[in-house]
Structure 1
Amino acid sequence: MTQFQINKTDPARTRLIEMTPADYAATMGEGDVLVRVDRFGLSSNNITYVVLGDRMDYWQFFPAAPEPGDDAAGADGWGLMPVWGFGDVVESRCANLEVGERLFGYFPPATHLLMHPDAARPAVSPVVDVSAHRAELPTTYNTYQRVLQEPDYDPADDDLRILLNPLQTTAWALREQLRDAAWFAAEQVVIVSASSKTGIGLARALKQDESAPAIIGITAPKNRDFVMGLGLYDQVVSYDEIEESLSHRPSAVVDMAGSGDVLGRVHRHLGDAMLHSINVGLTHWDQAGGGTGIIRERSEMFFAPGVFQKRMKQWGAAEFNRVTQEFLRSAFTESKGWLTIEPMNGLDGLDAGYALVREGQLAPGSAIVVAP
């Protein structure tokens, strides 16, 4: 039983903490379940969780275990980066969640997760972890799908679901927010970090909407050919071409990377034509909050669960699920043309994979799936 922990103040520092079955047995109470984490994804969105760990309470989802011999305070400086994945119930003291159930949702980068499901929910509904430390966190992230109850569940799609489900639903929610705002009166949507999986998802979502403005992708020079090959963007501009090639048309900017330098250059270049800017990701962890020239009074931080809740209230849960699942199914199909999955077995090598993602060294068409 192992946890991969990240230092909260220095995300480049990591450690593996081993726990014994007795450690879990000592804390497992009535109504708890123990889940064996089967696999999880690792991509740039996880770096956003690390950078925003304190600001948006991502560190609060999964308590970090102390090193052997330490009390709980010894783990205060360390956190567990949330990841999306699958897990199987291996021990249950909860009447409506049996051993053998397979769950999809938010997990720690660890071999196991101790949960306290809401026992009041029927056995045919999604599982909601109501552990005390998660009580104030968004329900969206506390909810787990019982995938064996899904009529169209296909284990062959597990890796795609891990990697694309959170990113593509975020992309869909971004399109919905932009559309609700009448595109902020923009003539073009400028996607910074156009090679990111969420950026690709947003471009795809915009492409499906005939009322959407032109789609402009900004990317690193090394990723330019990859982005152009996707066929989703009306124009692709590399970082070194911003001042030369980015049109001054009224623009809505969606930033997936959080590079203060790049975003500042885009804002300065567009000036009054920069009508609104949405910050989605902070994968440039070393530049979080930096950058000169950013027009902060016309900028906002994106929060996907707010859009999900709005649409569920408007449409009802059944219609919301139908629309988003249809979007995801088509995303799975299309991604097979550009996405390469890099498998990783065990947590021992996770530090190297995490470093690749953290430093932006993973190829844009690649993603890591870890089987701890």
Structure 2
Amino acid sequence: MSTLECLVRRSALADTRLRSREDTPLADGQVRVGIDHFALTANNVTYANFGDSMGYWQFFPTGEEDWGLVPVWGFGRVLQSTHPGVAVGERLYGFFPMASQVVLQPDRLSPERFADGAAHRAELPAVYNQYLRCALDPLYRPDNEDVQVLLRPLYITSWLIDDFLADNDFFGAAEGGRATVLLSSASSKTAYGTAFQLARRGNVDVIGLTSAANRAFCESLGCYTRVLDYRELQSLGTQTPCVYVDFAGNGELREAIHTRFAELRYSMVIGNTHADERAAAGAARALPGPRATFFFAPAQIKKRTGEWGAEAFAQRLAAAWHGFAAHVTQAGAPWLQVQRHAGGEAAQALWQQLQRGQGDPRAGHVVSMGG
């Protein structure tokens, strides 16, 4: 057997190449997982853009200094096992490489999950090392795996952003009982998941900022109080207390917002889908107002599981997720239309498309490297 991998050049993210490796025998305590399908979205572009600073390149070492494997969220099935606690055929959900297979070293097993105990992942965030055993996963449903791989990890981030902002009383931006939150890249899946959650609170004005081409899509979702073309930023009052949630990483837009809004109370950085703006994003320290702060979802997970307990956290998240998944797939007006891609060359072409920021915001891309 062999493993097909889609490698990305770390110093030039638009460059990709396919590599086929012959599989080596498993060591004791390892499992080989066939990766059935995974999502490829702007979120994965963010992982690559922050690959060095946030450690994303470290999850799946390639043995080649300038080439990396971008992490993706997907479903797989155990093909081989030398671990007594994991059976061949078991279905798993978790963090995988852009590849057809991966070898894991299960550790800290429970009926619901296990961690990859490989030495190179020991210092990486625990949330990314967890593999959920679908048979007992409260978020799993076998009839909508495509929706899960596309939206589940993004929605969890959205849910945590909403929770974080509310947990901090919107940093004082809720004067008069209503908060104003500005979201860039409003057509992105993580942004509209956040807007969905914020809108459900009933006391938040959610302002979506997007390109002219994506404005109609954002307005059709119904979760934004108002949608503006980036060029219409000047239509908002400068004295409005507000929070900015940056999903785009566009340094020029961030500077405009920090400069325009005298009552900007908090500036949150989520992603960096505008790869050509990476250098500008680094200038945030010199901007007026609050310092732009990267949101690290695992920290909020740790806080809430400590306060609520792991079981209560899982129950709240599961209830919210199932409500969101039903909403975005509603008959007649779905927010999401699944598009499937098979094979390594298809994965390469899709990655390059995402790098250029192209595509229909309603489309959700699901890839199978095994063909």
Q: TM-score, normalised by structure 2?
A: 0.92
Match of 2:169 in 1: 182
- Cα deviation for residue 125 of structure 1 reads 3.1
Are residue 218 (structure 1) and residue 209 (structure 2) matched? Answer: yes
* 1:322 maps to which of 312, 315, 329: 315
Unaligned 5+ segments in structure 2 are 174-178
Match of 1:11 in 2: 13
Count of residues paired in the alignment: 355
Unaligned 5+ segments in structure 1 are 65-71
- State whether residues 94 and 131 of structure 2, in contact with CA within 8 Å, keep that contact through their aligned partners in structure 1: yes
- Cα deviation for residue 258 of structure 1 reads 0.5
Match of 1:195 in 2: 187
Once the two structures are superposed, the pairs formed by residues 150-165 of structure 1 within 5 Å of their partners are 150=137, 153-165=140-152
Query: Could you give the per-residue CA deviations for residues 206-260 of structure 1, whole angstroms, max 9, x where no partner exists?
Result: 11113x4311111111011111111111111111111234654011000011111
Cα distance in 2 for residues equivalent to 1:151 and 1:44: 26
Cα distance in 2 for residues equivalent to 1:341 and 1:248: 41
Match of 2:268 in 1: 278
Cα distance in 2 for residues equivalent to 1:151 and 1:184: 33
Once the two structures are superposed, the pairs formed by residues 93-132 of structure 1 within 5 Å of their partners are 93-118=82-107, 120-122=108-110, 124-132=111-119
Q: In structure 2, do the counterparts of structure 1 residues 153 and 193 end up closer, same or farther at CA, with 3 Å as the change threshold?
A: closer
2:106 alignment partner, SS class: coil
Query: Could you give the per-residue CA deviations for residues 170-191 of structure 1, whole angstroms, max 9, x where no partner exists?
Result: 0010011101111111131001
Q: In structure 2, do the counterparts of structure 1 residues 325 and 98 end up closer, same or farther at CA, with 3 Å as the change threshold?
A: same
Q: What is the RMSD computed on CA atoms of the aligned residues?
A: 1.6
Cα distance in 1 for residues equivalent to 2:312 and 2:260: 41
2:6 alignment partner, SS class: strand
Cα distance in 1 for residues equivalent to 2:273 and 2:359: 12
* 1:29 maps to which of 14, 27, 30: 27
The amino acid of 2:212's aligned partner reads: P
The amino acid of 1:133's aligned partner reads: H
- Cα deviation for residue 149 of structure 1 reads 3.2
Cα distance in 1 for residues equivalent to 2:138 and 2:356: 40
Cα distance in 1 for residues equivalent to 2:128 and 2:280: 28
Q: In structure 2, do the counterparts of structure 1 residues 133 and 87 end up closer, same or farther at CA, with 3 Å as the change threshold?
A: same
Once the two structures are superposed, the pairs formed by residues 1-372 of structure 1 within 5 Å of their partners are 1-21=3-23, 24-25=24-25, 28-64=26-62, 72=63, 75-118=64-107, 120-122=108-110, 124-150=111-137, 153-186=140-173, 187-210=179-202, 212-245=203-236, 248-270=239-261, 272-290=262-280, 294-295=287-288, 297-336=290-329, 337-372=334-369
1:94 alignment partner, SS class: coil
Cα distance in 2 for residues equivalent to 1:244 and 1:175: 25
Cα distance in 2 for residues equivalent to 1:297 and 1:329: 35
